[in-house]
A and B are shown apart, each in its own frame.
Chain A
Amino acid sequence: AQTVTQSQPEMSVQEAETVTLSCTYDTSESDYYLFWYKQPPSRQMILVIRQEAYKQQNATENRFSVNFQKAAKSFSLKISDSQLGDAAMYFCAYRTPLRGNRDDKIIFGKGTRLHILP
């Protein structure tokens, strides 16, 4: 069964600094998707960034980028120039693409609470 592990329950970073959130996963599949979601106090889960496993190039979205290491099954999120609005719970998630009758669902890590220090 697939699992997603976030080993850092909480992290803090100074405003304007860079922070990296870790995520590892376990799967026997070769084709899958990885995501980072952000959940602020408003509880709305917001997609931050996605990565297709078949793509070697790391995904980037403005100040957010990932370091995807497929062989190591690692998918870390780097936030550059941290802003107060980045304070939230961040979830790493895994999903296999629909194919045949294979079950499909998103598997989430336990989350990392990120604090931004002014």
Chain B
Amino acid sequence: KAGVTQTPRYLIKTRGQQVTLSCSPISGHRSVSWYQQTPGQGLQFLFEYFSETQRNKGNFPGRFSGRQFSNSRSEMNVSTLELGDSALYLCASSLGGRGMNTEAFFGQGTRLTVV
């Protein structure tokens, strides 16, 4: 069974640009969550998608957005990049149904560097 796949693994962008990250969850998982990991702030929750709908959102500015497709694959977009957006972005998938196992499985992350 394939794990969670994130692409690309590494990305270098310039301030002001926008970026799109992709996450393919484990087959059968309908929930995809995104986290930002930085040395100073640790792991912070960005948002969660379930069945193509954003179900939960963290405290990030509107420059951070996402979406989920009918095959459960998810994309995260960051517009008008700032130096502080440099981070490891992790995607996690889980079954996601209410009352179901809440175990989350993570991808290897996308390392974004903004210069």
Q: Which residues of A contact B (CB under 8 A)?
A: 33, 35, 37, 42-47, 50, 91, 95, 97-99, 103-111
Instruction: Check B99 against A99 for contact (C-beta < 8 Å).
Output: yes
Residues B60-115 near A (CB distance < 8 A): 88, 90, 92, 96-100, 102-109, 111
Q: Which residues of B contact A46 (CB under 8 A)?
A: 106
We find that the number of chain B residues with CB closer than 8 angstroms to chain A is 26
Give the complex CA separation of A109 and B42 in angstroms. Answer: 8
Q: Which residues of A contact B105 (CB under 8 A)?
A: 47
Interface residue from B45, B100, B106 paired with A45 (Cβ < 8 Å): B106
Q: Find the B residue at minimum CB distance from A6.
A: B42
Q: Find the B residue at minimum CB distance from A111.
A: B42
Interface residue from A42, A45, A98 paired with B98 (Cβ < 8 Å): A98
Given the contacts A43-B88, A45-B90, A97-B99, A105 and B48 also touching, CB distance less than 8 Å: yes
Give the complex CA separation of A90 and B72 in angstroms. Answer: 29
Q: Which residues of B contact A33 (CB under 8 A)?
A: 102
Interface residue from B56, B97, B98, B106 paired with A44 (Cβ < 8 Å): B106
Given the contacts A104-B48, A104-B55, A105-B48, A91 and B43 also touching, CB distance less than 8 Å: yes
Instruction: Specify which of B33, B43, B58, B92 lies most central, judged by the most chain A CB atoms within 10 Å of its CB.
Output: B43
A44-B107, A104-B102, A108-B35 known; 4 other A-B pairs, CB under 8 Å? Answer: A37-B106, A47-B103, A105-B45, A105-B48
Instruction: Check B98 against A106 for contact (C-beta < 8 Å).
Output: no
Majority secondary structure, A binding face: loop
Given the contacts A43-B88, A43-B108, A43-B109, A106 and B33 also touching, CB distance less than 8 Å: yes
Could you name 30 residue pairs across A and B whose Cβ atoms are closer than 8 Å?
A: A35-B103, A37-B106, A43-B88, A43-B109, A43-B111, A44-B107, A44-B108, A45-B90, A45-B92, A46-B106, A47-B103, A95-B102, A95-B104, A98-B98, A98-B99, A98-B102, A99-B98, A99-B99, A103-B56, A104-B48, A105-B33, A105-B58, A106-B33, A106-B35, A106-B104, A107-B45, A108-B35, A108-B42, A108-B43, A110-B42
